[in-house]
Amino acid sequence: MGYDLDILPLSGWIETGGLPLIISGPCSAETEEQVMETALKLAAIPQVKIFRSGIWKPRTRPGGFEGVGEKGLKWLKKVKKETGLLTTVEVANPTHIEQALKYGVDILWIGARTVVNPFSIHELASALKGVDIPVMIKNPVNPDIDLWIGALERFNKAGINKLLAIHRGFYFFEKTPFRNAPMWEIPIELKRIFPGLPVICDPSHICGRREILKEVAQKALDLEMNGLMLESHINPDIALTDKEQQVTPEYLGTLISSLVIRKIEGSVEFETKLEELRTEIDKLDAELLNIIARRMNIVDEIGEYKSTNDITILQLERWNNVVINRLRTGIRLGLDKKFLQKILEIVHEESIRRQTEIYKKRNGGKPKD
pLDDT by residue (tens digit) across 192-213?
999 999 999 999 999 999 999 9
Question: Among 230, 258, 286, where does a domain finish?
Answer: 258
CB 49 within 8 A of CB 36: no
The residue out of 258, 289, 311 marking a domain boundary is 258
Mean pLDDT confidence for 35-51: 98
Assess contact for 51 and 34: CB atoms under 8 A.
Answer: no
Q: With contact defined as beta carbons under 8 Å apart, do 115 and 148 qualify?
A: yes
pTM of the model: 0.79
State whether residue 15 is helix, strand or coil: coil
Tell whether 68 is covered by a domain. Answer: yes
Same domain, 173 and 245: yes
Cβ neighbours for 247, distance < 8 A, ≥ 6 positions apart: 210, 213, 230, 231, 232, 233, 236, 255
Q: Which amino acid is at 276?
A: E
User: CA of 130: how far to CAs of 155, 160, 292, in Å?
Assistant: 11, 8, 51
Residue 129 and residue 274 in one domain: no
Range(s) of the domain holding residue 348:
268-362
Look at the chain and report how many structural domains it folds into.
2
49 and 99 share one domain:
yes
Asked if residue 345 and residue 291 are part of one domain, the reply reads: yes
- Looking at residue 150, its pLDDT comes to 97
* Under 8 Å between Cβ of 76 and 53: yes
- Do 93 and 153 fall into the same domain? yes
Last residue in a domain, options 212, 238, 258: 258
- DSSP string for residues in 88-109: EEE--SHHHHHHHHHTT-SEEE
All residues at 6 or more sequence positions from 115 whose CB lies less than 8 Å from its CB, including other chains: 121, 137, 138, 139, 140, 141, 147, 148, 151
Instruction: Identify whether 1 is part of a domain.
Output: no
Residues 314, 231 share a domain: no
Beta-strand pair 86-90/163-167? unpaired
Q: Are residues 180 and 316 in the same domain?
A: no
Give the CATH number, domain containing residue 324.
1.20.59.10
Same domain as 314, residue 254: no
Residue 121's H or E segment, with its range, is helix 118-127
**Burial (Cβ within 10 Å: 0-12, 13-18, ≥19) of residue 197:** buried
CATH number where 188 lies: 3.20.20.70
In a domain, 3, yes or no: no
Amino acid at 196: G
Buried b (16+ CB within 10 A) or exposed e, 58-89: eeeeeeeeebbeeebbebbebbbeebebbbbb
Distance CA 296, CA 347 (A): 9
Which is more confidently placed, 319 or 224? 224
For the chain, what is the mean pLDDT?
92
Closest CA to 20 of 199, 177, 282, 237: 199
pLDDT band at 314 (very low <50, low <70, confident <90, very high): confident
CA distance 47 to 16: 8
Q: How confident is the model at residue 276 (pLDDT cuts 50, 70, 90)?
A: confident
Same domain assignment for residues 177 and 296: no
* pLDDT of amino acid 63: 73
Greatest Cα-to-Cα distance within the chain, rounded to the nearest angstrom? 81
Dihedral sign, Cα of residue 98, residue 99, residue 103, residue 109: negative
Q: How is 39-57 classified by DSSP, letter by letter?
A: HHHHHTSTTEEEEE-BS--
Q: Are residues 34 and 109 in the same domain?
A: yes
73 and 164 share a domain?
yes
Claim to verify: residue 181 and residue 279 sit in the same structural domain: no
- DSSP classification of residue 19: S
pLDDT tens readout for residues 74-130: 999 999 999 999 999 999 999 999 999 999 999 999 999 999 999 999 999 999 999
3-state secondary structure of 268: helix
Residue 313 in any domain: the answer is yes
- pLDDT of 265 over the 70 cut: no
H helices of 6-83, in order, are 32-43, 70-83
pLDDT tens per residue across span 116-150: 999 999 999 999 999 999 999 999 999 999 999 99
